Amino acid sequence: MQYHVDGALVPEGEATVSVRDRGFRYGDAAFETLRAYGGEVFEWAAHRDRLRATCEALGMPDAVPDNLAVRVAETLDANDLRDAYVRVSVTRGVQPGKLTPREDVDPTVVVVAKPLPRGGVGGERVWDGPAVVQSVRTRRPPDSALPADAKTHNYLTGILARLELRRAAGEGYRPDEALLRDPDGNVAEGATSNLFFVTDGALKTPAEGALLPGITRRVVLDLAEGESFPVEIGRYDPADVREADEAFLTNTTWEVRPVASVDGIDVGAGPIARLLQRLYDERVQRRCY
């Protein structure tokens, strides 16, 4: 594999960053996970804009290079990839070991990629089956502590949540996604996903403020607007999810992934989740293949 590091393609074994890089030392960095279908990055503009917004929130508004799309395309081409996972990271770069960053920024920009199955109509899912979801004690930090809409390298909350899943696992029970709540106890999101569930024909998803509003989440909401069922964005208790008629998770690589159970209670997929899966696949097909 070849990766793009600071404007140049280098072999995987040589793709390194400095131990003094602030992305390594402090998690002082922004990133985006992209998915390429047929050589085209799906929802590129939305991902680019969110990356820029995160960098702006971190006080480095000009850190995203103008030719980032070219770097992504070069990484895909160098590895002969058309269907792929792509991760773009932008750190504040190498600076002295002080918490307060310099005003001048020389960012470190890294693009990595790995193959994924073909998506779209008739494509292959990247997950093995519906998600087994478990509520965890770890809470999503309030927006006042850590901006919820900033996608940074600081993923400690998600890591702690996933470690709880490991401790919760037992014979015949292997949860693979954590359900986090906000400080008030309302359902927020998964460790790496956004949540949707259906009750009495209404599609529901937690309100923004204590969750990262995912790009795939926005696409699903857009698709749902064209359908006849109602859509509600609000505050929900974990019991609302456990008692739902169906539920699913969204993120860039999973796309639309049904939920098998929540806290050991069967939920499962249903007609709305299957419809949105199909509509999502059709949009990918139209735009990328």
Q: Is 263 left (phi over 0), alpha (psi -120 to 50) or beta?
A: left
Range of the domain at 57: 2-115
Same domain, 102 and 140: no
Q: Are strands 108-115 and 2-5 parallel, antiparallel or unpaired?
A: antiparallel
Q: How far apart are CA 65 and CA 52, in angstroms?
A: 10
Q: How far apart are CA 236 and CA 22, in angstroms?
A: 37
Q: Among the residues of 195-270, which ranges form H helices?
A: 215-225, 238-242
Is position 184 within any domain? yes
Q: What is the pLDDT of residues 120-152, one digit of tens each?
A: 999 999 999 999 999 999 999 998 888 999 999
Give the SS3 label for residue 92: coil
Regions of the chain where pLDDT drops below 50: none
Which pLDDT score, from 0 to 100, does residue 241 have? 98
- The number of distinct structural domains making up the chain is 2
Q: 266 CB contacts (<8 Å, ≥6 apart)?
A: 260
CA distances from 121 to 125, 283, 289 (A): 11, 9, 10
Is position 65 within any domain? yes
Same domain, 108 and 144: no
Q: Which of 60, 80, 115 is the last residue of a domain?
A: 115
Which pLDDT score, from 0 to 100, does residue 183 have? 94
Is position 42 within any domain? yes
Which pLDDT score, from 0 to 100, does residue 97 have? 85
E-strand spans in the chain? 2-5, 8-11, 29-37, 40-41, 84-91, 108-115, 131-139, 177-181, 187-190, 194-199, 202-206, 231-234, 246-251, 255-262, 265-266
Which domain CATH number covers 168? 3.20.10.10
Is position 75 within any domain? yes
Which pLDDT score, from 0 to 100, does residue 228 have? 85
| Chain mean pLDDT for the chain | 96
Same domain, 265 and 139: yes
Is position 125 within any domain? no
Alpha carbon distance, N-terminus to C-terminus of the chain:
24
Same domain, 263 and 136: yes
Same domain, 73 and 99: yes
Q: What is the pLDDT of residues 149-163, one digit of tens each?
A: 999 999 999 999 999
Determine the longest span between alpha carbons in the chain, in angstroms. Answer: 56
Is position 121 within any domain? no
Q: How far apart are CA 204 and CA 230, in angstroms?
A: 9
CA distances from 138 to 134, 179, 180, 209, 231 (A): 11, 9, 6, 17, 28
What's the whole-model pTM score?
A: 0.96
Same domain, 139 and 105: no
CB-side exposure of 277: number of CA atoms within 13 Å? 20
Same domain, 278 and 135: yes
Q: Which of 89, 115, 141 is the last residue of a domain?
A: 115
Same domain, 149 and 254: yes
Is position 120 within any domain? no
Same domain, 61 and 138: no
Same domain, 77 and 19: yes
Same domain, 240 and 275: yes
C-alpha dihedral, 118 to 123 to 128 to 130, nearest 10°: 130
Which pLDDT score, from 0 to 100, does residue 173 have? 95
Q: What is the pLDDT of residues 164-202, one digit of tens each?
A: 999 999 989 999 999 999 999 999 999 999 999 999 999
Residues facing 37 on adjacent strands: 40
Same domain, 141 and 254: yes
Which domain CATH number covers 29? 3.30.470.10
Q: Which of 87, 115, 143 is the last residue of a domain?
A: 115
Is 210 within 8 Å of 148 (Cβ atoms)?
yes
Is position 124 within any domain? no
How many residues make up the chain in this entry?
A: 289
Residue 167: which H helix or E strand, with range? helix 156-168
